[in-house]
Amino acid sequence: MPAFSIHRSTRQSKRITRSLGGNILSGLLLLLLGAFMALPVVYVISASLKPFDEIFVFPPKLLVRNPTLNNFTDLFILSSESLVAFSRYIFNSLFVALAATALHVVLASMAAYPLAKNRFPFRNAIFGLIVTCLLFVPQVTSIPLYIILSKLGWINTYAALILPSVGGSMGLFLMKQFMETLPGSLMESARLDGANEFCIFFRIVMPNVKPAWLTLIIFVFQAVWNTSSTNMANLVYDEQLKSLPVALTQFYSGMGIARMGVTFAGLVFLMIPPVILFITLQRRVIETMAFAGIKE
């Protein structure tokens, strides 16, 4: 009887008690936070549908009154007058972002595995160097990067846009920290069964760190899609190889305020792939974090 009482009191202490007022307050706070985070997206989409006289109205209006698709039509007309088709720019951006993301996730995971689960000389020093690299922004290494790519003969190629994003230290740091949470008994059991390191890595380690590399896919794709292509525009001069952000920047440079609606229409195209990727993987990231817990 006393044991049952102790067990019952322990179970009751573990219950999460929350009042109805607390639930309502939490819901309102989350609703306000979600609306605040969605405000830039709503504004860009609304502005892309506004006619010229509504874009510069003061005070500015969030929602469009007379929606029109003329901004998107003008964007395709301007792109059709260029030397390269608009679809070519989209292909270049998707190809660079997908290739850089896939290579970065695989190589960062393979490099993080021995740092997290193997003991070898200078392991801590190597990891300290990786952490130090997190302090540097891409602009700091732009000149050495250009010299290296020029010596390799990769200027004005896809490699100049893809490979610099593959060796980022952020993914290595994230995967290493997540792999350290895996129990060593998993790897030891696989080795006793005759599995080699590649088999352990791809069949045991990677499935159990799925939340980490799904999250890394979101971060890397967004970074490559939004920033690396535009920051490395000086590495590619062939119009056939330029990405969508670079092409849109060229369109905007000679437009002025008369084509501001076209600018917002181009921003909508830039938002679509990262948003689709996040919506697709966000649910899976939460689910895998909830159910992939492993204990010794």
CATH code of 219's domain: 1.10.3720.10
User: Could you read off the pLDDT tens digit of each residue along the chain, which spans 296 residues?
Assistant: 444 444 444 444 445 556 777 788 888 898 888 888 888 888 888 888 888 778 777 777 778 888 888 888 887 777 777 777 778 888 888 898 899 999 999 999 998 888 888 888 888 888 888 888 888 877 787 888 888 888 888 888 888 888 888 887 888 888 888 888 888 888 888 888 888 888 888 888 888 888 888 888 888 888 888 764 445 667 888 778 888 887 777 776 666 666 777 888 888 888 888 888 888 887 766 655 554 444 44
Contact (Cβ atoms closer than 8 angstroms) between residue 84 and residue 239: yes
pLDDT score of 10: 45
Six-digit token pair at 85? 């088709």
Report CA-CA distances (Å) from 133 to 2, 107, 112, 154, 168.
58, 17, 15, 24, 9
Confirm whether 15 is domain-assigned. Answer: no
User: What is d(CA 100, CA 293) in angstroms, rounded to the nearest whole number?
Assistant: 29
Confirm whether 118 is domain-assigned. Answer: yes
Six-digit token pair at 119? 């003991």
Report CA-CA distances (Å) from 124 to 105, 114, 118, 172.
22, 12, 11, 14
pLDDT score of 257: 67
Instruction: Supply the range of the domain harboring residue 240.
Output: 75-291
pLDDT score of 233: 63
DSSP letter for 257, please: G
Contacts of 183 by beta carbon, 8 Å cutoff, 6+ apart: 294, 295, 296
What is the count of structural domains for the chain? Answer: 1
User: What is d(CA 87, CA 78) in angstroms, rounded to the nearest whole number?
Assistant: 13
Confirm whether 3 is domain-assigned. Answer: no
Confirm whether 46 is domain-assigned. Answer: no
CA 7 to chain centre: 46
Confirm whether 35 is domain-assigned. Answer: no
Confirm whether 195 is domain-assigned. Answer: yes
pLDDT score of 16: 53
Confirm whether 296 is domain-assigned. Answer: no
Helix H segments across the chain? Answer: 2-14, 20-48, 52-55, 70-80, 86-117, 123-133, 142-152, 159-166, 169-179, 184-192, 197-200, 206-208, 210-223, 229-231, 244-253, 260-291
Q: What is the amino acid identity at position 242?
A: K
User: What is d(CA 250, CA 279) in angstroms, rounded to the nearest whole number?
Assistant: 30
pLDDT score of 49: 87
Confirm whether 244 is domain-assigned. Answer: yes
pTM tops 0.85, yes or no: no
